[in-house]
């Protein structure tokens, strides 16, 4: 039999009907402990930090969607990234993109550095810089593509090759693309991490994270850390993410179709000076995106003529796009990075353009979304 397709696996993998009741949807096993068959001989679930059937269902489904062998679910995306960072030891070095997710930057600089783990942040669109950053102590290259907020595209296969030549592990944060559009393990990565808070959950009603791995050794190590450190998701949160995952394919198709229409209409608006969308042929990462992604995602960024003041005006004038951080939900969100998600970069070399606006394009009717943006942009013309 041929391998089942993505949409089928999203609905069925890890989610067989409950063997005792026939429940079609895996139940929320709201219990902290499980009856054991006999002291010291028990093989099943024991204590819910260590394992819970609702979590097992989610972990199996996510592993399948990323075309990996093993999945592990966490209480947040940052908990998942922290767990992968436990693979590093004092004296080790990691290389990350200079525009990596802010929380990941904070973890490496403010927390891991205190434990003797050094890191370098480089522009990974330039492979010579990636290579130059690798040292004999580099044990991990953590990358993320498309990046935030400029939606740069990084070449996962090429970065993996450079890292593997130095025996460094490759971790890809696949939150922005989701496994529907991009599967890093098949491109050479060793681990995939997710904030399931975003597209996988998809409804802005849960915070969660996940890691998917092919290596059994790494899986067993991370499973040990998952239990040892204890940042596990609740059964209800696992159930919510799994509920979201079942519609991932149709949601991503609509997010991407709406994003391209929004991006194209913004390009024609005189109040907009630049639009960043990897689906545009003139986007510098377009060819790599075409090679490693099967769709360009639902995120669009653009620069408003007139800079900071104009952008703030637009950001407070939309009626459907909700001003807020996060992304990946069914509803459209608008972020002003310079004053919100990326405010902490002010004054640094990574400071973002004050006129930049980042959109998480939702799945509302595209005409309503386009109309909303243009009425807001009319305020600054
Ligand atoms: C949101 C996000 C995270 C962190 O995930 P949380 O669930 O908020 O902890 C990590 N990486 C990326 C790319 C994100 O967008």
pLDDT in tens, 252-309: 999 999 999 999 999 999 999 999 999 999 999 999 999 999 999 999 999 999 999 9
CA 117 to chain centre: 23
Last residue of a domain, one of 214, 245, 276: 245
Residues 265, 186 share a domain: no
Task: Give the residue ranges of DSSP H helices in the chain.
Answer: 6-12, 53-65, 77-85, 102-106, 127-133, 156-165, 178-181, 216-229, 235-245, 248-267, 286-292, 307-315, 366-377
Tally of domains in the chain:
2
Backbone φ and ψ of 221, nearest 5°? -65, -45
State how beta strands 322-323 and 299-304 pair: unpaired
Asked if 359 and 300 touch (Cβ cutoff 8 Å), the reply is yes
Whole-angstrom distance, CA of residue 162 vs CA of residue 122: 14
Same domain for 160 and 192, yes or no, is yes
Is residue 305 part of the annotated active site? The answer reads no
In this structure, is residue 71 part of a structural domain? Answer: yes
CA of 78 to the centre of ligand 1 (A): 6
Contact 58, 226 (CB under 8 A): no
Counting ligand 1 atoms within 8 A of each CB, the residue from 75, 96, 101 with the most, and so the one to mutate, is: 101
Over 80: is that where the pLDDT of 381 sits?
Answer: no
Stretch 223-244: mean pLDDT, rounded? 98
Of the residues 55, 152, 183, 198, which is catalytic?
A: 198
User: In angstroms, how far is CA 68 from the centroid of its own chain?
Assistant: 16
How many residues in the chain?
A: 381
Q: Are residues 214 and 266 in the same domain?
A: no
Instruction: Mean pLDDT check: name the lowest of 35-49, 81-95, 201-215, 325-339.
Output: 35-49
User: Do 93 and 50 share a structural domain?
Assistant: yes
Q: Is the pLDDT of residue 350 over 90?
A: no
Q: Is there an atom of ligand 1 within 6 Å of 173 CB?
A: yes
- With vertex at residue 261, the alpha carbon angle to CA 259 and CA 263, rounded to the nearest 5 degrees, is 65
Q: Is the peptide bond before 289 cis (omega within 30 degrees of 0)?
A: no
Same structural domain, 185 and 319: no
**Percent of the chain's residues with pLDDT above 90:** 94
Domain boundary among 190, 223, 245: 245
Residue with structure tokens 């353009």?
A: 353
Mean pLDDT score across all residues of the chain: 96
pLDDT at residue 344, as a whole number:
84
Is 340 inside any structural domain?
Answer: yes
CB atoms within 10 A of CB 339: 15
* Domain shared by 214 and 309, yes or no: no
The arithmetic mean of pLDDT across residues 235-258, rounded, is 98
Establish whether residue 178 lines the binding site of ligand 1, counting it when its CB lies within 6 angstroms of any ligand atom: no
Question: In angstroms, rounded to a whole number, what is the distance separating the alpha carbons of residues 53 and 38?
Answer: 20
Residue 153 in domain: yes
What average pLDDT does this structure show over 100-118?
96
Would the CB of 103 count as within 6 Å of ligand 1? Answer: yes
CA-CA distances (angstroms) from residue 82 to 56, 165, 183, 293, 362? 20, 25, 21, 26, 29
1 within some domain: no
Mean pLDDT on 105-130: 97
Which among 212, 180, 206 is positioned nearest to 194, based on CA atoms?
212
Q: The domain spanning residue 270 has which CATH number?
A: 3.90.1150.10
Tell me, using a 6 A CB cutoff, whether residue 358 lines ligand 1.
Answer: no
* Residue 1 reports pLDDT greater than 70: no
Please work out, in degrees rounded to the nearest 5, the angle formed at the alpha carbon of residue 243 by the alpha carbons of 237 and 246.
140
Looking at the structure, tell me whether residues 231 and 115 fall in a common domain: yes
Question: Is pLDDT at 3 greater than 90 in this prediction?
Answer: no
Whether 341 maps to a domain, the answer reads: yes
352 and 228, same structural domain? no
- The three-class DSSP label of residue 213 is strand
CA torsion angle 172 249 201 24 (round to 10): -120
Spot the catalytic one: 29, 45, 101, 180: 101
Q: How confident is the model at residue 345 (pLDDT cuts 50, 70, 90)?
A: confident
The pLDDT, as a whole number, for residue 90 is 98
Mean pLDDT on 10-39:
95
Determine the Cα–Cα distance for residues 30 and 206; give it in Å rounded to an integer. 17
Q: By residue range, what is the domain housing residue 273?
A: 248-377
SS3 category, 19: coil
- Does 42 have pLDDT greater than 90? no
- Residue 103 sits in the same domain as residue 138: yes
Q: Which atom of ligand 1 is nearest to the CA of 328?
A: 15
Is there a single domain that holds both residue 240 and residue 253? no
CB 355 within 8 A of CB 226: no
Q: Is the CB of 77 under 6 A from ligand 1?
A: yes
Mean pLDDT across 103-122: 96
Is 51 inside a domain boundary?
yes
Active-site annotation holds for 198:
yes
User: Is the same domain home to 256 and 275?
Assistant: yes
CB neighbours of 121 closer than 8 A, spacing ≥ 6?
Answer: 95, 96, 97, 98, 100, 105
Please tell me whether residues 204 and 81 are part of one structural domain. Answer: yes
Domain boundary among 245, 279, 307: 245
In a domain? residue 101: yes
What number is the average pLDDT over the span 225-234? 98
Q: What is the CATH classification number for the domain harbouring 116?
A: 3.40.640.10
Averaged pLDDT for residues 58-63: 98
């Amino acid at each position: 039999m041929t391998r089942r397709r993505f949409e089928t696996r999203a609905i069925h993998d890890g989610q067989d009907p409950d063997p005792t009741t026939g429940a079609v949807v895996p139940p929320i096993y709201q219990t902290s402990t499980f009856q054991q068959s006999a002291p010291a001989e028990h093989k099943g679930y024991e204590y819910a930090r260590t394992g819970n059937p609702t979590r097992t269902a989610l972990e199996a489904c996510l592993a399948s969607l990323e075309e990996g062998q093993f999945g592990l679910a966490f209480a947040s995306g940052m908990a998942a990234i922290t767990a992968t960072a436990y693979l590093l030891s004092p004296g080790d070095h990691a290389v990350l993109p200079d525009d990596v997710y802010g929380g990941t930057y904070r973890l490496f600089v403010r927390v891991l550095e205190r434990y003797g783990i050094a890191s370098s942040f480089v522009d990974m669109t330039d492979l010579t810089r990636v290579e130059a950053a690798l040292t004999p102590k580099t044990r991990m290259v953590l990358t993320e593509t498309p990046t935030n907020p400029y939606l740069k595209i990084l070449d996962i296969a090429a970065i993996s090759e450079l890292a593997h030549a130095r025996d460094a592990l490759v971790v890809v944060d696949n939150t922005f693309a989701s496994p529907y559009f991009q599967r890093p393990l098949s491109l050479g990565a060793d681990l995939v991490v997710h904030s399931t808070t975003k597209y996988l959950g998809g409804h802005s009603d849960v915070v969660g994270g996940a890691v998917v791995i092919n290596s059994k050794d790494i899986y067993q190590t991370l499973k040990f850390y998952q239990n040892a450190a204890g940042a596990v998701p609740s059964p209800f949160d696992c159930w919510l993410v799994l509920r979201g995952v079942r519609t991932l394919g149709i949601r991503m198709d609509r997010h991407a179709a709406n994003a391209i229409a929004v991006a194209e209409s913004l390009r024609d608006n005189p109040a907009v000076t630049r639009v960043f969308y990897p689906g545009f042929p003139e986007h510098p990462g377009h060819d790599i995106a075409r090679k490693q992604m099967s769709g360009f995602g639902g995120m669009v960024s653009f620069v408003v003529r007139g800079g900071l003041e104009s952008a703030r005006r637009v950001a407070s004038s939309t009626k459907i796009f909700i001003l807020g951080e996060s992304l990946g939900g069914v509803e459209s969100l608008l972020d002003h990075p310079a004053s919100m998600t990326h405010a902490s970069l002010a004054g640094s070399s990574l400071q973002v353009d004050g006129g930049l606006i980042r959109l998480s394009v939702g799945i509302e009717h595209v005409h309503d979304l386009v109309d909303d943006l243009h009425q807001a942009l009319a305020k600054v013309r």
